[in-house]
Amino acid sequence: MNEKMNIKINGQKYHVAEKMLGSELKSLAGLSLDVTLVIKVDNAADIDIENSQDYFLEDGMKLVSDDFDNTVEVMIDNKPYTVNRFMTGAELLSKVDASPDEYKMVKEAKGPADEEYLLDVKYEICKNDVFFTVLRKLVNGGTTYDIA
């Protein structure tokens, strides 16, 4: 079955075959064969790509080379920040000294609804993403209201 997969190498999208050699992946992205390329795996160790080995690719897979700049420029609460490309909601909140108990991090969406970034989930952050801190609770006259 010769399916095509959508993957990202160093943040760039590629439409590729289901199975490729490590050297083919590096060549596709214009990388030297000497560069270390890894598959990013959520909640597990990264997988090093060997040039002569075949890899079965999955849709949405992310690969990053060791020479790739791992930081991006974003806006948080209308101020510019340089952040790591892969961060949790809690790590983003720490950039603006916002307590996770009091605030949540929300990414401005291009579609119908903004996206809350959960505290303990690692997300890929893209250049020029826009985020806002939002209160979790509102206290008024001694009464606390949860904010959805």
Domain 71-146: assigned CATH number: 3.10.20.30
Identify the bridge partners of residue 62 per DSSP, sorted by sequence position: 8, 40
Predicted local distance difference test score (pLDDT) of residue 110: 78
pLDDT of residue 72: 87
Q: Tell me, what's the pLDDT at 20?
A: 94
> pTM higher than 0.85 for the full model?
no
pLDDT, residue 52, reads 96
| Residue closest to 91 by CA, chosen among 114, 119, 111 | 119
pLDDT at position 148 is 56
Those residues of the chain that have pLDDT short of 70 are: 1-2, 144-148
- Contact between 90 and 100 under an 8 Å Cβ cutoff? The reply is yes
**Domain ranges, ordered by start, for the chain:** 4-65, 71-146
Q: How far apart are CA 87 and CA 79, in angstroms?
A: 18
Give the CATH superfamily of 4-65. Beta-grasp domain (3.10.20.30)
What integer pLDDT is reported at residue 145 of this predicted model?
A: 67
